[in-house]
Amino acid sequence: MKNIDMFSANKDFATRVASFVDLKVLRAEYAEDYRVQVASTKKLIDNTEKLKGSIFEESIPERLAMYEQDLTMFKQAYESKLEKMDKFELTDEEKKLRKALKGVSCDDTKVIKQALRDFFDLYGLKITGTDFENSLMNALGGKVDMRKFVKTEGTDGISFNTSGALNIIFWVTFNYMVSAGTIKAASIPDCLKDKYIKKDGKVNKAVADAQK
């Protein structure tokens, strides 16, 4: 099995992959980040209010105003991100891939592989027989419909996880591109920066490798 050469991809594709992950894949992660920001700030507010009657009492109004400003800033940033997510649209090529994978069963492994190959070929990536193609197929996985499995006496009943196929496909692609270096630190989504970028500002490729 040969390794994929991510540097053969069209330059614009890395930008698209990073944007797709940021605005389609990471909604739950951004929601959690916002929840943590709000909870942490409210805890600071509670702790500050407990300073009444202490030698720090004079600083309380200023501190509370600062924390309220932080809450407003966090809310605005989160709402702005949600707005961008809601406006994000799939390309015609992505819609075609999603349609090609919808409801595909285990007997159609060739169909899945061909759909993936055709899609990535549009962006200059030849994935046939590569580690990348293998990772994509593993990530899509297989799930068993026991009722169908029994009804067909075990000849059918396993389908690939295609309900969220595009998210899975772009997530795997993102990590391969981060690992290869075609997605740079500046393009890492904000909610992943702490995890994917080291203190020296360089990408932590080991994290991306673990997500492949």
**Tens digits of per-residue pLDDT, 7-30?**
999 989 999 999 999 999 999 999
- Measure the CA–CA gap between 5 and 98, rounded to whole angstroms: 24
Mean pLDDT for the stretch of residues 47-64: 94
Q: Is residue 20 part of a domain?
A: no
Judged against a pLDDT cut of 50, whether residue 160 lies above it is answered with: yes
Indicate the average pLDDT of the chain.
90
Mean pLDDT for the stretch of residues 158-182: 86
> 200 is in which domain, residue-wise?
6-12+90-211
- Measure the CA–CA gap between 93 and 104, rounded to whole angstroms: 18
Is residue 144 located within the same domain as residue 194? yes
On whether the CB atoms of residues 159 and 145 are closer than 8 A, the answer is yes
On whether the CB atoms of residues 185 and 202 are closer than 8 A, the answer is yes
Is residue 50 located within the same domain as residue 100? no
Judged against a pLDDT cut of 60, whether residue 147 lies above it is answered with: no
Return the percentage of the chain with pLDDT > 90, whole number: 79
Q: Convert the pLDDT of each residue in 71-130 to its tens digit.
A: 999 999 999 999 999 999 999 999 999 999 887 765 678 889 999 999 999 999 999 999
Q: Which residues contact 194 (CB under 8 A, 6 or more apart)?
A: none
Q: Is residue 1 part of a domain?
A: no
On whether the CB atoms of residues 132 and 176 are closer than 8 A, the answer is yes
Is residue 125 located within the same domain as residue 173? yes
Judged against a pLDDT cut of 50, whether residue 67 lies above it is answered with: yes
* 97 CB-contact burial (10 Å; exposed 0-12 / middle 13-18 / buried 19+): buried
Is residue 129 located within the same domain as residue 158? yes
Specify the pLDDT at position 152.
Answer: 47
Domain end point (choices 87, 108, 140): 87
Judged against a pLDDT cut of 50, whether residue 153 lies above it is answered with: no
Q: Is residue 19 part of a domain?
A: no
Is residue 158 located within the same domain as residue 70? no
Is residue 177 located within the same domain as residue 118? yes
- Measure the CA–CA gap between 169 and 120, rounded to whole angstroms: 11
- Of 184, 176, 183, 185, the closest CA to residue 210 belongs to 176
Task: Please give, one letter per residue, the 3-state secondary structure of 122-169.
Answer: CCCCCCCCEHHHHHHHHHHCCEECHHHHHHCCCCCCEECCCCCHHHHH
Is residue 119 located within the same domain as residue 73? no
Domain end point (choices 52, 87, 122): 87
Is residue 60 located within the same domain as residue 152? no
Specify the pLDDT at position 149.
Answer: 45
Is residue 101 located within the same domain as residue 47? no
Tally of structural domains, the chain: 2
Q: Is residue 45 part of a domain?
A: yes
Domain end point (choices 87, 111, 138): 87
Specify the pLDDT at position 106.
Answer: 57
On whether the CB atoms of residues 13 and 123 are closer than 8 A, the answer is yes
Is residue 196 located within the same domain as residue 125? yes
Q: Per-residue confidence at 162, pLDDT binned at 50, 70, 90?
A: low
Specify the pLDDT at position 142.
Answer: 55
Q: Is residue 18 part of a domain?
A: no
Is residue 104 located within the same domain as residue 189? yes
Q: Is residue 38 part of a domain?
A: yes
Is residue 120 located within the same domain as residue 75? no
Give the SS3 label for residue 19. helix
On whether the CB atoms of residues 24 and 170 are closer than 8 A, the answer is yes
